[in-house]
Amino acid sequence: MSSSERFGYEWDTYSFMDENYEKQFLNWTSPLPKSFFKDKFILDAGCGMGRNSYWPLKWGAKEVVSFDLDERSVNRAKETLREFKNSEVFLKSIYEIDWKDKFDVAFSIGVIHHLKDPKKALQNIVNALKKDGTLLIWVYSFEGNEWIPRYIDPIRKNITSKLPVGLVHFLSYFCSVPLWTFVKIFRGPTGYLKQLSTFDFWHIHSIVFDQLIPDVANYWSKKDIEKLFSGLNIKDVSIKMPPNGSGWTIIGYKK
Ligand SMILES: C[S@@+](CC[C@H](N)C(=O)[O-])C[C@H]1O[C@@H](n2cnc3c(N)ncnc32)[C@H](O)[C@@H]1O
C-alpha cells in the first residue's frame, strides 16, 4: 500500500470537520488574515479530506480547486466541500498537474515533505500560479522537532510504514493515550504541545497515526528549505515558523 493510500485510510476515517481545523489552518497560513483569501482563485494541492479548502471557501474565495492522488480522500473532500458551488475536486497527482498561469493562490499543506521529488512538485505548483500569484507551503521543520527524526523515524521507516494500516491505527493508541494524558496535565511545555492540549482525543490520535503511516517524512531545517526553494520562479520568499512553533510556512510570489 502506498503512502497516499495509507493517507486515504486516514482521511476516510477522520473525514468530519472540526472547529479546531480553522485554528490549525490559520496557524499554518500565518500571518495571512482570513480576508486575504476573499475573491481569490485558489489551488489546494494534496487536499486530503478537504479541511483546508473549506476555510477559504467559507471566507469568500472566488473558487477553490482541490486535488489529491487518493480516491478515498477525493471522495471525502467532495463531501466536505459539497455545500460550495464554487469548489471542484479532482483525482490527480501533483507530478501530473498541467495548469498554467491560472491561480491567484496555490497552497499545499503537509504534503511536500512526504514526496520523493519535492522540487518537481513545487515547480508544478508554481507553474499553476498567475504572475504575482501567492505560493503558500507548510512543511515539517527539523528545528523544534529534533526528537522525531531521532526517535520516531526509525520506528516509522522500519516498522509502522510497512505494517497493515489498520494495525498501525490500533498501535497508535499506545502513543496517543500517554500523549493525550501528558498534554492535558501539563498544557505544554512547547507551543505545539499547548495547542495539542486544546484538541479532543480523536484529533491527537489521528495526528499520532498520521506520523506513523507514510514511507517518506522529511523534517527540514531552514537551510534545507532555502535550498529546496532556490531556483524556483518565485520572488520575495519568506520562511517563517508559525505561531505554534512547529513547521515552516513558506510564502513567495510568482515572478
Ligand atoms: C498529510 S496529508 C495532508 C492532507 C491535507 N493537505 C491536510 O492538511 O489535511 C498528505 C496528502 O498528500 C496526498 N498526496 C501524496 N502524494 C501525492 C501526489 N503525488 N499528488 C497529490 N497528492 C498527494 C496524500 O494522498 C494525502 O492526502
The pLDDT score that the predictor gives to residue 217 is 96
pLDDT tens, the chain, 255 aa long: 788 899 999 999 999 999 999 999 999 999 999 999 999 999 999 999 999 999 999 999 999 999 999 999 999 999 999 999 999 999 999 999 999 999 999 999 999 999 999 999 999 999 999 999 999 999 999 999 999 999 999 999 999 999 999 999 999 999 999 999 999 999 988 889 999 999 999 999 999 999 999 999 999 999 999 999 999 999 999 999 999 999 999 999 999
Task: List residues near ligand 1 (CB under 6 A).
Answer: 4, 7, 11, 46-48, 51-52, 68-70, 73, 93-95, 109-111, 114-115, 210
Ligand 1 center from residue 255 Cα (angstroms): 26
The pLDDT score that the predictor gives to residue 175 is 95
User: Which region, left, alpha or beta, applies to residue 126 given φ > 0 means left and ψ of -120 to 50 means alpha?
Assistant: alpha
What percent helix, strand, coil does the chain show, rounded to 5? 45, 20, 35
Nearest Cα residue to atom 13 of ligand 1? 46
The pLDDT score that the predictor gives to residue 131 is 98
Nearest Cα residue to atom 27 of ligand 1? 48
Q: What are phi and psi of 7, to 5 degrees?
A: -65, -30
* Closest of 203, 140, 194 to residue 172, by C-alpha: 203
SS3 of residue 253 by DSSP: strand
Cell of 91: 483525482
Residue 144 to residue 148: CA distance in whole angstroms? 9
Residue 161 to residue 148: CA distance in whole angstroms? 15
Cell of 230: 532556490
The sheet that has 248-254: what strands, in order across it? Answer: 87-91, 63-68, 41-45, 103-109, 129-139, 248-254, 234-240
The pLDDT score that the predictor gives to residue 133 is 98
**pTM confidence score:** 0.96
* Closest of 151, 68, 64, 164 to residue 114, by C-alpha: 68
Contact 35, 44 (CB under 8 A): no
Question: What's the topology of domain 3-142+217-254?
Answer: Rossmann fold (3.40.50)
Q: What is the pLDDT of residues 198-218, one digit of tens each?
A: 999 999 999 999 999 999 999
User: Measuring CA to CA, how many Å separate 164 from each of 2, 151, 156?
Assistant: 11, 21, 13
Ligand 1 center from residue 151 Cα (angstroms): 24
User: Measuring CA to CA, how many Å separate 216 from each of 93, 203, 211?
Assistant: 16, 22, 10
* Closest of 239, 236, 242 to residue 254, by C-alpha: 236
Q: Where exactly does CATH 3.40.50.150 map onto the chain? A: 3-142+217-254
Residue 196 to residue 150: CA distance in whole angstroms? 21
Ligand 1 center from residue 111 Cα (angstroms): 5
The pLDDT score that the predictor gives to residue 3 is 83
Q: Which of 10, 64, 70, 111 to mutate to test the pocket of ligand 1 (most atoms within 8 A of CB)?
A: 111
Contact 37, 62 (CB under 8 A): no
The pLDDT score that the predictor gives to residue 211 is 95
